[in-house]
Structure 1
Amino acid sequence: MITIEEIDKINKNNLSPLTVLAGEDMGQYAQLKERLLKKIGFDKDDLTYSYFDMAETSYQEAEMDLESLPFFSDSKVVIFDNLLDITTDKKSFLDEKELKRFEAYLENPVETTRLIICVPGKLDGKRRLVKLLKRDAKVFEARQLKEAELKTYFQKYAHQEGLVFETGAFEELLIKSNFDFSDTLTNIAFLKSYKKDGHITSQDISEAIPKTLQDNIFDLTQFVLSGKIDGARELVRDLRLQGEDEIKLIAIMLGQFRTFLQVKNLASQGKSEQQIVMELSDYLGRRVNPYQVKFALRDSRTLSLPFLKKAVVTLIETDYAIKQGKFDKDYLFDIALLKIAHERS
């Protein structure tokens, strides 16, 4: 069970005396925090709740509320937000004496108080505070989900929202969302408002979800490969007007061509799609998305290895020339696109 499904089971009545929410996946962390506060019915105007941003509040003030008995009900909820002292972040808001007092509280918490600690970042397992919390608290961590976990969760979620995807469309949604939890959640909301009947096609994904810079660079690459130079120039002009820098455009474009080259090279050795995923993952030191390989194989099918090598070299040389300041970067980038288009033709 993933973290958000665990949080969905929480309410104010079954809240643990000590609860910790942490995580390095900032998008997911924000969603989990919002969901947690909603599940416990947090209301800043309700006197049975106390909220302290530890980046702005003295520990002494928060400690008084933490250790005092509730006045308006049998129990109260105290929230310590941004307590970065328990993360690997180097920031610290509590001094040594305050840390000792907080440790003493964790060893013997007030029975009528429910303490929630929210920290964006990775818990520092070497700290005594963290060891105490992992021993006694209910800990929720916003970790990067595995692809299968992400897919399963959002398939269920989309079904609950009344959405039905045609074959391949759901995978396109995940790719368009960069397999990011927060982006996928946002894009499902876009689709729900865009298609009232809930039937989602590949065309809906393309039309309803805003294009990312990666999408625009992919379009640019396709313009160049198909010899549509006017389309490429117009798109580049739009990207420049949006404030995108040529160095950044080259970096993304280079990444696409390198992926084409890698999968094409492995495929030419008789490797299967699954073997390519495994070998690239080992080479890059991270899990490569199978759908990224699938689409790279499709898009590089008509491209030769010599052409891809020349395209990569052209982009690397252009990047170097721009950084050397030899000529105007707009001119150098435009020339690079023309060279690639010429090689392709």
Structure 2
Amino acid sequence: MPVYFFWGADEFRMKKAVRALCDRNLNPDWASFNYEKIPPEQSDAIIQGLNQAMTPPFGMGKRVVWLVDTPLCQRCSADLLTELERTLPNIPDSSILLLTSSNKPDGRLKSTKVLKKHADIREFDTIPPWKTDQIEHQVYQVAKDVGLQLTPQAAALLGEVIGADTRRLYNELEKLKTYWTKPNQALPPNAITDLVATSTQSSLQLAAALRQGNTDRALTLMTDLLERNEPALRIVATLVGQFRTWLWVKLMTESGERDTRIIAQAADVGNPKRIYFLQKEIRNVSLPQLQNALQLLLSLDYSLKRGAPETVTLHTKVIELAHCFKPV
């Protein structure tokens, strides 16, 4: 398929995919003639990209035309839509038209529907920190890409330490591969402890401290996160996701549901085996406590988005949240 649309906030993974696409299709000797990168500031960027994609390549290899950060799936005029409908089905196999955007395509737009019909659409969005099973799966995939075997404990530890930061994940795995001299054996977790810089502060650990009603530790973790320049809204998004998961697991469990697959589906947990551990985490927590905590978090998110001072607002809410889980 000669048309590709890559979207998502994970810029590092997207750039790797763009580079791989270019390497597969461009002849190095003729790349300067057949590669066109068109920035979004150009007023006629989309029209120029479509025209270039219809032009035969010069010399060997294919022509690659890249429309960078295109707004095509966020807004599209009637004239531009007509041009898309006319051009996309007729782009020759000797050309590659690549469109990229950090924003998710708006499925309501006709331009998005046209692209879905004629393009290979790939998502490169960042995995939310609370979706630990997806992060762990990504660790395995990247380890496979760099040619390194990991034990399950090592993969889990690496996912916990690095999270969804794919740039750092690739860098650390390349470093570990250089260090590991036993290619036929899986890398153990102690190698990660020795070589990967770890931080004991994370938003998920903050969520655990709040759930335990440990005000002092929660305040310390929040201070450390802010000192490491962790964005306040990202911290809150992680907390909201984690508490929402706990709330759904508690709600389904107290309603009498025993099938972990059904609970996992309701709680948006990819691996049903995690449900047992989530239930264990909230065994001593009541449903009203979780409901109250989620309300406070959503209020915090609203206040920050309205411009409330970050440090004072976050520390005040941390105290309120931890108080929700204080034993009566």
- TM-score normalized by structure 2? 0.64
Report the CA distance shift for 1:185/1:202 in structure 2 as closer, same or farther (over 3 A): farther
Higher Cα Rg, which structure: 1
1:278 and 2:265 aligned: yes
1:238 and 2:238 aligned: no
1:116 and 2:101 aligned: no
* Residue correspondence of structure 1 range 47-86 to structure 2 within 5 A: 47-53=32-38, 55-57=40-42, 58=44, 73=59, 77-82=63-68, 84=70
- Specify the alignment match of 1:219 in structure 2: 205
Q: In structure 2, what residue type is equivalent to 1:329? A: T
Deviation at 1:339, TM superposition (A): 1.9
Decide whether the 8 Å contact of 1:217 with 1:253 is kept in 2.
yes
- Specify the alignment match of 1:304 in structure 2: 285
> Per-residue CA shift, 1:26-70, capped at 9, x if unaligned?
435433212111223466984442314063454686678666666
Q: In structure 1, what residue type is equivalent to 2:196? A: A
Report the CA distance shift for 1:172/1:293 in structure 2 as closer, same or farther (over 3 A): farther
Q: In structure 2, what residue type is equivalent to 1:336? A: E
* Residue correspondence of structure 1 range 114-193 to structure 2 within 5 A: 114-120=95-101, 122=105, 126-127=110-111, 130=114, 134=117, 139-143=119-123, 155=140, 158-159=143-144, 161-171=146-156, 173=158, 183-184=165-166, 186-193=168-175
Paired residue secondary structure (2:152):
coil
How far apart in 1 are the matches of 2:139 and 2:22?
21
Deviation at 1:74, TM superposition (A): 5.1
How far apart in 2 are the matches of 1:318 and 1:102?
44
Deviation at 1:171, TM superposition (A): 4.9
Number of residue pairs matched?
A: 302
Report the CA distance shift for 1:107/1:297 in structure 2 as closer, same or farther (over 3 A): closer
- Specify the alignment match of 2:128 in structure 1: none
Deviation at 1:276, TM superposition (A): 1.2
- Specify the alignment match of 2:196 in structure 1: 208
- Specify the alignment match of 2:25 in structure 1: 40
> Per-residue CA shift, 1:1-24, capped at 9, x if unaligned?
xxxxxxxxxxxxxxxxx6111133
> Per-residue CA shift, 1:131-169, capped at 9, x if unaligned?
7x956xxx4321479x99998886465245342322344
Specify every segment of 5 or more residues in structure 1 that has no aligned partner in the other structure, as ranges. Answer: 1-17, 282-286
1:199 and 2:181 aligned: no
How far apart in 2 are the matches of 1:330 and 1:129?
42
- Specify the alignment match of 2:73 in structure 1: 88
Identity %: 17
Q: In structure 2, what residue type is equivalent to 1:22? A: F
- Specify the alignment match of 2:183 in structure 1: none
How far apart in 2 are the matches of 1:149 and 1:257?
18
